[in-house]
Every structure is written in C-alpha cells, then in structure tokens.
Structure 1
Amino acid sequence: MTRRPLPLCDGVPASRLQLPPGPWRTVLEALCARFPQIPQPIWESRFARGRVLAADEATPLAMDAAYRVGLEVAYYREVDEEPVVAAIERIVHMDAHLVVVDKPHGLPVVPAGGFVRQTLLHRLIERLDNPHLVPLHRIDRATAGLVLFSAEPGTRAAYQALFREGRIDKRYEALAPPLPHLTFPYVHRSRIERGVPFFRMRECAGVPNSETRIDVRERMSDCWRYRLEPVTGRKHQLRVHLAALGAPILHDPWYPELRETDAAAPALQLLAASLAFDDPRDGRRRRFDSQLRLQR
C-alpha cells in the first residue's frame, strides 16, 4: 500500500515516526520521550504551528492528541544553524519513475539530526522540481554511493517491493585492514541490536538477524579493498561486521570504538558501488554503477 503523500513545509519533506508501546497519555509526551534532546517547548511550538501531523490523514494534531500505539506521526524538523555540505551529488539516471543518484560522503539522504535542507532528498526536490520524490532505501550520511529514488507515486509500491522482498542486488566497496586468517569469499552472520549511545549498533548473543557476504577485490600492503554484499539491511551492518572481524573500515569514527572527529576528518571509506534488479514494470535487467572511488 502506497503511503499518503505529505505536503512540503518551507520546501522540507516530513519525517515519519510510528509510535512505539509506552506509558504516555498524549502524542506530545511520546515525542518528548523519543527525542529527549529536543525541549518540550519546541515540540509545543511545532504542534501550535501545525508542524506535527497524523500521517495517514495528513492533518495537524492537537497539542493534547491522545497517544496510540502504532500511530504514524509526521513532523517537520527545524534547526537553528545547519552545517553546509559542500560536496555535490551526481544524477546517474533519471526517468519518469526512477532517479538514481551518486551521493557524496557527508550528505544525509533525508532530514536527520542537525540536517534539514542540506540533505540529498531536499536538494533533489528543489533541483528536479518534483515533490513526489521518495528514497526507496537509505545509506548512512558517512557512506558515499548510489541511492535509488521513486519519482512517481503510482509505481512506487512495485519498486519498494524489490527491497522488501530481497530482489535487488546491492554491492558495496570498503577499504579496511587485511584479514589474512580468513578464507574468502566469507559469510558473516550475527545478531545486531541497538547499542550505546543510541546511534550506534552492536553485535550480541542470540539468533542471527544479519548476514553479509565478503570478498577481496584488491590486496594492498596496509589495507584491502573488500566487496560487500549485504543479504540483510540492518543499520550500520557493514561497519559493525567488519569491525567485529577485526578490520574496521578506514576512518570509521563509530566502530569499533566511538571517537571524536571534526569536519576536516577523512571520509569513511565505504561506497555503495552498484545496484541491480529486474525492473518490475517490464522485467528488463537494470544495473547502475557509482562513478565515485574510494581513496586511502
């Protein structure tokens, strides 16, 4: 089922959140608990200005709207001072249904954290004058490479099903330390859950819920160029898996340990290198390759 399209607000697309189980009386209380870094008066202001919506109806929620498990809430992010991302995206392919873009390192796909307008989605909506653009998948802000967007609501569900049903081949490249003790190709499976702080993930005991196929494309003296094929799509899966094997991706500030970085820090050497699938509209095989390259 295709989601109801939501209006832009000052050119910014809405973010969505499905409310989890909890003890809250109102949607406002639930949002304050989910985003403790945002003071309650800011949420109250957003409600008062109609910037918090019931996503299924695209209508503003009242300040005292009752909390309900599973309710999908849409809201519009706001930041006082937004960092400028100088790197520019490159459109690889565009037709009436799909837009494929090479995303540079450091540019978020959608609004998150301190980024609202400096996002790939906002840039493309303005550049292509198409408010119907929706990313069909996401890659980390720190990761570069291909992102596939739906440009037409009428065919969106068919392309979303490619990802949901695992009918799309995604290949990544990474530069990381050598792993001479492993035999390649190698398959790594583990259970990944949310870690601490909230934005990090961790491996833990239990039934595996993540799988990555790993091979080596090039062996250099100080690092290897790996080919990574995620069978599953857990958050930060490739970064967590390589770090767990003892080969954290070059310049990764979060794995295996969290460390401080600044804007001048080298980019994470992870690239979404290719996407391939049978087009659900006509069955033809399609493949897109990134023109970006990793550098040590």
Structure 2
Amino acid sequence: MSKTLKYGLHGLPTRHGVGPSCVSLPAGQWPTITDFLVERFPAITRKTWLERMQQGLMADEFGLAVTPERPYQGHMRVYYYRALDDEPRIPFEETVLYQDEHLVVADKPHFLPVTPSGHYLQETLLVRLKNRLGLDGLTPIHRIDRETAGLVLFSVRIADRNAYQGLFRQHTIHKHYEAIAPWRAGTVFPLTRKSRIVEDKPFFRQLEVPGEPNSESRIDVLEVAGNVARYALSPVTGKKHQLRVHMNALGLPILNDRMYPPVEHTPDDDYRLPLQLLAKSIAFTDPVTGQQRQFETRFSLNF
C-alpha cells in the first residue's frame, strides 16, 4: 500500500537544483500507473520507472508514493524526476553580477540553456545558480536563447515574481543587445522592423508571415569594419528568436547563426563559432524596491 511521502502538497522537492516534472493522468483503463507511464513515454523503459519508484523519486499530487503495482487512477498528477544518462558538459561559466534578497542578475555564456529542457538538466543556468547560491525558489524573470550570451534576471522570492515579470509584459524595461552581422551599404539606419512571427517547422524555428505584426525591434549600426558591422538591437516585444528572425529578414543574418537563414539540418554546436548576439544591458525601475536598476554584461563581441 502506498505510504505518504513527506514532500508537501505538490509531490517532490527540488533535487540537486532540479524540480520534478509532472504528467497528468487522463481517464483510462490501464491496470497500473506503471503501465500508463511505459505507454506514454516509450523512450523510457519499464526498468527505469521501477528504479525511480524504488528510490522514492515518484509521488502523486497529494504526496503519496507511486509504487510499481499501484492501480491506475485518472484525473490526477504524478511528479517524477527526469534523468539524463549522458548530459554534455557546457565548458563555459556563468557569473553572478548582482544579488540581493529580491533579485539575482547573471551573465550567461554562449551555449548554456537558461532552464532545463531536452538534453540539458544540470547544465543550465537556472540549475547551476540554484546549486551555487542555495536558492531553490530561484525563478527566471525572462529568457534568452541558449546560443545567446549576456544578462538574465532571476526572482529570488515567489512573492516578487509577478511584479518583475510585469516589467516585460508591460514593456517598461529597457533591453539592449549587440550583434555582429554582414554590412550592406544602402540600408538606412536606424530602422524599426515590425512583423508577424509564428512557429515554423520544425517547431523550434520561427517564421515571418503576412498579417498583423506581433513583434517589433529597433536596429541601428554602431560601427563598420569591412564587410561586417556591429549593430545595436532593442527588442520592443519578446517573441522567440525575434532579433535573429528580424536580422535575417533584412538580409543581415547574425554571424554563426545555425538556424537563420533556415537550413534543412541544424548543425551541431561548434564552440569555436558562438552566435554573435549578446544581451548587452538592461535598465528598469525595480517594482519591489523602487530603485533605479541598470546592469551591463562583462562579455563582448569581437570582429
């Protein structure tokens, strides 16, 4: 019979900086929860699920242990820890630029994801910071692409999270990026690019389509060196891959971009060729303390 685990209402606690994943159990006739999980996740073996259960790494939303023979019950959530047998080490380090009781500001290197997904759990900025700072409740206020380097803000307290995220929803935060891209004489700067961006195929790529604009970026040129230039980019909105899509649409794809312009097969990472896009600076009025905040990355892009 299932025993109650001492993990609280929502299943399992953070483990090594990684929170549990969740799966909802639909109505159905599976004999056991194990049978459902094996069918729902064909890439995960029954043996793996049984090992997680035996190690006490699975619980329902009420804190009850999920055991190998526990009968199936629909309309319930089950929490479990994801595991990666061979997670690649990202050989670049983040820096904490600022920390107080409300806010953490980190400088993220190229190639490091902000949050766990796909092939990355421990090798993510969020999990590294949780383990390093001992802050299990740390939450990213916004995201930047894995390939992009630069500033990322985190909320320390759950009570503050919505106030900080509101800065981005209300466009009251000033973000500035730099990029290295081809130089094309005849384009007049500064310019504003507005377009409609939607999900492309494969799902991780984005695409401009006709229609009401849902994205806006302001672009200027800072310096020219031969056939390339350093650009200042200021996103007004925050669509996925927005700056990369807009620069490519202008015929100025950012150097070392593996997805824009689109290619049939996305190349593997090459640490010698980081995407030349940098989250350079960020400024805002702190909604919790009322202070004026301004931060700048220590990374730089070189011609």
Q: Name the CA distance, whole Å, in 2 between partners of 1:63 and 1:211.
A: 52
1:92, 1:100 within 8 Å by CA — same for their partners in 2?
A: yes
1:146, 1:289 within 8 Å by CA — same for their partners in 2?
A: yes
1:77, 1:111 within 8 Å by CA — same for their partners in 2?
A: no
Alignment partner of 2:282 out of 253, 269, 275: 275
After TM superposition, the score normalised by the length of structure 1 is 0.82
Q: Does 2:176 correspond to 1:168?
A: no
Alignment partner of 1:293 out of 287, 294, 300: 300
1:28, 1:65 within 8 Å by CA — same for their partners in 2?
A: no
Alignment partner of 1:45 out of 40, 43, 49: 49
Relative to structure 1, the CA distance from residue 194 to residue 94 in structure 2 (aligned partners, 3 Å threshold; closer, same or farther) is same
Q: Name the CA distance, whole Å, in 1 between partners of 2:222 and 2:133.
A: 36
Instruction: Encode CA deviations 1:158-198: one digit per residue, 9 max, x unaligned.
Output: 21211222111111111011133322111111111111112
Q: Which residues of 2 match residues 210-249 of structure 1 at below 5 A?
A: 210-249=215-254
Following TM superposition, by how much is the alpha carbon of 1:66 offset from its aligned partner in structure 2, in angstroms? 4.0
Following TM superposition, by how much is the alpha carbon of 1:13 offset from its aligned partner in structure 2, in angstroms? 2.5
1:187, 1:212 within 8 Å by CA — same for their partners in 2?
A: yes
Alignment partner of 2:135 out of 115, 130, 135: 130
Which has the higher mean CA deviation after the structures are superposed, 155-164 or 165-174?
A: 155-164
Relative to structure 1, the CA distance from residue 89 to residue 30 in structure 2 (aligned partners, 3 Å threshold; closer, same or farther) is farther
Q: Does 2:215 correspond to 1:207?
A: no
Q: Name the CA distance, whole Å, in 1 between partners of 2:160 and 2:194.
A: 34
Structure 1: unaligned runs, 5 residues or longer: none
1:101, 1:146 within 8 Å by CA — same for their partners in 2?
A: yes
Q: Does 2:261 correspond to 1:261?
A: no
Q: How many residues align?
A: 281
1:145, 1:273 within 8 Å by CA — same for their partners in 2?
A: yes
Q: Name the CA distance, whole Å, in 1 between partners of 2:72 and 2:154.
A: 36
Following TM superposition, by how much is the alpha carbon of 1:130 offset from its aligned partner in structure 2, in angstroms? 1.1
After TM superposition, the score normalised by the length of structure 2 is 0.80
1:44, 1:63 within 8 Å by CA — same for their partners in 2?
A: no
Q: Does 2:15 correspond to 1:9?
A: yes
Relative to structure 1, the CA distance from residue 137 to residue 95 in structure 2 (aligned partners, 3 Å threshold; closer, same or farther) is same
What residue in structure 1 maps to residue 156 of structure 2? 151
Which has the higher mean CA deviation after the structures are superposed, 131-140 or 150-159?
A: 150-159
Q: Name the CA distance, whole Å, in 2 between partners of 1:112 and 1:278.
A: 31
Q: Does 2:90 correspond to 1:85?
A: yes
Relative to structure 1, the CA distance from residue 114 to residue 60 in structure 2 (aligned partners, 3 Å threshold; closer, same or farther) is farther
Q: Name the CA distance, whole Å, in 2 between partners of 1:191 and 1:163.
A: 19
Following TM superposition, by how much is the alpha carbon of 1:65 offset from its aligned partner in structure 2, in angstroms? 5.5
- Percent identity reads 43
Q: Name the CA distance, whole Å, in 2 between partners of 1:166 and 1:29.
A: 47
Relative to structure 1, the CA distance from residue 290 to residue 50 in structure 2 (aligned partners, 3 Å threshold; closer, same or farther) is same
Q: Name the CA distance, whole Å, in 2 between partners of 1:243 and 1:196.
A: 17
Q: Does 2:117 correspond to 1:112?
A: yes
Relative to structure 1, the CA distance from residue 65 to residue 166 in structure 2 (aligned partners, 3 Å threshold; closer, same or farther) is farther
Q: Which amino acid letter does the alignment assign opposite residue 192 of structure 2?
A: V
Q: Name the CA distance, whole Å, in 2 between partners of 1:273 and 1:123.
A: 21
Q: Name the CA distance, whole Å, in 2 between partners of 1:152 and 1:245.
A: 41
Secondary structure of 1:127's aligned partner: helix
Structure 2: unaligned runs, 5 residues or longer: 1-9
Following TM superposition, by how much is the alpha carbon of 1:205 offset from its aligned partner in structure 2, in angstroms? 1.8
2:113, 2:145 within 8 Å by CA — same for their partners in 1?
A: yes
